[in-house]
């Protein structure tokens, strides 16, 4: 223990996140933790585990499954949930499409369709708070979002009407039907997440590490060859050594050429990267300057 009573950046962030997670557990009737299998939600799950240790995490884990997930990620999700003895709630985009509740538009990713399935699932299970792994360094709309982000009964975010947040005090009071999205990783950067994964030896899905994969280029992004992603004319598949910087829907998540096969090598790569992770790998945020802002207003994560 250092004599000057200082915490490192990572341990200060960890302490803040645990404080936020405990506030959510204490102030809400039915919270749930959003889990995608991505690195941020792996960190979230670990922080939740730490927050209540040696007791179990006192809330369910919620996954919105687009039906276009990487199989490696689903396998990882199921295993972690079982290890921690948690209840997993899955909201299925495929089911909603099959039942005719939402309609898929040809040529578009299912990313936007997640919002309605998320809202339906939240209503069905009566969740009043969702813990998400979003970070403020990811995107400019997120840079202005509160840690406790108030959503009206339609799940909508109103950026002009946010509750002031002071000291370490969070206001979780809501009326029935309204909800809070809580973001304990708000102050973490991509590099912080990777350094934490390294320091704590966290397990993450294999697709984050360099592997051989059949890919093709579309709009400057490297997409995976997959049944769910029909190729257009002129798009040629080739084999490359790639890894993923973010984990999302196969149809809109791009890979990066990389030989980084350990967390340390990934950290070295991230530290020198000159492109944001969303800019590099997420088609969904590229179609307009305000893509994320618009989706959040509609009730997106």
Partner 1 sequence: MDLLRFATAGSVDDGKSTLIGRLLYDSKAIFEDQLEAVEQTSRAKGYDYTNLALLTDGLRAEREQGITIDVAYRYFATPKRKFIIADTPGHIQYTRNMVTGASNVDLALILVDARNGIVEQTRRHAFLVSLLRVPHLVLCVNKMDLVGYDQVVFDKIKQEFLGFATKLTIPDLEVIPISALEGDNVVQRSTNMPWYDGPSLLHHLENVHIASDRNLVDVRLPVQYVIRPQSNEFHDYRGYAGQMVGGVLKPGDEIMVLPSGMTSHVSHIETADGPVEEAFPPMSVTVRLTDDIDVSRGDMICRPHNAPRSAQDIDAMVCWMVDEPLRPGQRILVKHTTRWAKAIVKRLHYQLDVNTLHRNMSAEELKLNEIGRVSLRIAQPLFVDEYARNRLTGGFIIVDEATNVTVGAAMVVDAS
Angle at CA of residue 280, ends 276 and 282, nearest 5°: 105
Smallest distance from the beta carbon of 208 to partner 1, in angstroms?
A: 19
How many residues bind to partner 1 according to rule CB under 8 A? 62
Smallest distance from the beta carbon of 25 to partner 1, in angstroms?
A: 6
Cα–Cα distance between 224 and 58 in angstroms, integer?
A: 37
Q: Is the peptide bond before 54 cis (omega within 30 degrees of 0)?
A: yes
Angle at CA of residue 271, ends 267 and 272, nearest 5°: 125
Q: In what order do the strands lie in the sheet with 31-34?
A: 88-92, 60-65, 31-34, 129-131, 179-182, 148-151
Cα–Cα distance between 2 and 230 in angstroms, integer?
A: 57
Closest to partner 1 by CB, 11 or 79 = 11
Smallest distance from the beta carbon of 133 to partner 1, in angstroms?
A: 16
Q: Which of 79, 87, 124, 140 binds partner 1 (CB under 8 A)?
A: 140
Find the helix or strand (DSSP H, E) in which 73 lies. Answer: helix 71-83
Please tell me the number of Cα atoms within 13 Å of 269 on its side-chain side: 21
Site track 179-218 with partner 1 (rule: CB under 8 A), x = hit? -------xx-x-xx--------------------------
Cα–Cα distance between 25 and 179 in angstroms, integer?
A: 14
Binding to partner 1 (CB under 8 A): which residues in 120-139? 136-137
Residue 42 vs residues 24, 152, 219, 266, 301: alpha-carbon distances, Å: 18, 28, 30, 16, 16
Binding to partner 1 (CB under 8 A): which residues in 37-76? 49-56
Closest to partner 1 by CB, 143 or 237 = 143
Binding to partner 1 (CB under 8 A): which residues in 273-292? 273-276, 279-280, 289-290
**Span of 35-43, 111-119, 168-176, 211-219 interacting with partner 1 by CB under 8 A:** 168-176
Binding residues for partner 1, rule: CB under 8 A, are 1, 4-9, 11-16, 18-19, 22-23, 25-26, 49-56, 136-137, 140-141, 143-144, 159-160, 162-169, 171, 173-175, 186-187, 189, 191-192, 273-276, 279-280, 289-290, 293-294
């Amino acid at each position: 223990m250092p004599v000057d009573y200082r915490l490192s950046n990572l341990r200060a962030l960890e302490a803040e996140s645990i404080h936020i997670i405990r506030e959510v557990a204490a102030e809400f009737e039915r919270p749930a933790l959003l889990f995608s299998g991505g690195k941020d939600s792996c960190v979230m799950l670990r922080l939740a585990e730490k927050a209540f240790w040696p007791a179990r995490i006192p809330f369910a884990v919620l996954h919105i499954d687009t039906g276009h997930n990487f199989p490696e990620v689903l396998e990882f999700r199921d295993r972690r949930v079982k290890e921690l003895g948690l209840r997993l709630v899955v909201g299925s985009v495929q089911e909603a499409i099959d039942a005719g509740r939402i309609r898929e538009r040809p040529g578009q990713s299912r990313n936007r369709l997640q919002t309605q399935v998320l809202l339906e699932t939240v209503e069905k299970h009566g969740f009043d708070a969702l813990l998400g792994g979003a970070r403020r360094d990811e995107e400019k709309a997120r840079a202005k979002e509160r840690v406790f982000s108030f959503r009206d009964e339609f799940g909508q975010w109103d950026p002009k009407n946010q509750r002031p947040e002071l000291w370490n005090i969070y206001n979780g009071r809501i009326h029935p039907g309204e909800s809070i999205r809580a973001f304990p990783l708000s102050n973490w950067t991509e590099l912080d997440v990777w350094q934490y994964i390294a320091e704590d030896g966290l397990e993450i899905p294999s697709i984050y590490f360099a592997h051989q994969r059949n890919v093709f280029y579309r709009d400057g992004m490297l997409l995976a060859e997959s049944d769910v992603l029909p190729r257009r004319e002129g798009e040629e598949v080739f084999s490359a050594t790639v890894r993923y910087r973010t984990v999302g829907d196969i149809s809109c998540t791009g890979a990066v050429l990389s030989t980084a096969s350990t967390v340390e090598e990934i950290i070295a790569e991230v530290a020198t990267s000159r492109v944001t992770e969303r800019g590099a790998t997420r088609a969904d945020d590229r179609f307009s300057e305000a893509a994320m802002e618009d989706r959040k207003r509609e009730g997106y994560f």
